[in-house]
Amino acid sequence: MKQAVIAGLIGGIMGLLISFLLNYFLLPMPTTVFANALGNGISGLMSGFMGGLMGLLIYLKKSATMDK
């Protein structure tokens, strides 16, 4: 359980960085509320997916080495 929490935190930090970089460099400042919501949705989708994927991969790698 401890390894899953650590891997989740690492994945969350990676997701935060991806979201920050996406919003700062790729998405322009929104001019409407809809554009702002769409940009946040896209950013959240990408960062959530990447954060979860990285967390899962780290957890699987650490759990595989602990089994040996």
Residue 29 phi, psi dihedral angles, 5° rounding: -60, 130
Judge whether residue 1 has pLDDT over 80: no
Global pTM?
0.57
Judge whether residue 28 has pLDDT over 70: no
- Residue 30 is given by DSSP the state P
Task: Give buried/exposed letters for 22-49 (b at 16+ CB in 10 A, else e).
Answer: bbeeeeeeeeeeeeeeebeeebeeebee
Q: What is the mean pLDDT of residues 32-55?
A: 80
Residue 22 phi, psi dihedral angles, 5° rounding: -65, -45
